[in-house]
Amino acid sequence: MFKIKEEHKEEYKKHHQNVWPEMLDLITKRGVKNYSIFMTPEGLLFGYYEIPDNFKKESLSAKDEEINTKWQNFMAPYFENIGGKHSEKRSIILEEVFHID
């Protein structure tokens, strides 16, 4: 979970309505499915996505992609609680404890 600085909430949403095509291509290439980012009124973000294969392997290989580095650098100043770092460096794998279709 991340928090967007109050003054950047609307701009952050606009950028995610127009994600760079090269970044979308990378996401697809890496096998990411069902990707969503949710925001509370206070600017708290929760991101969810599925990778059918090895999560750690795919996440690590995406870090080496130039377009990913550019996107992460572009987005880093929007976050309140990550000290200008890339959000992916603060991502954790959550254990699913309940699911129903």
Measure Cα distances from 34 to 18, 69, 84 in Å.
Answer: 17, 22, 27
- For the residues of 1-64, what is the DSSP string, one character each? -EEB-GGGHHHHHHHHHS--HHHHHHHHHTT-EEEEEEE-TT-EEEEEEE-SS-HHHHHHHHHT
Q: Which of 8, 16, 86, 99 is catalytic?
A: 16
Length of the chain: 101
Active site residue 16: yes
Instruction: Give catalytic residues, as residue numbers.
Output: 16
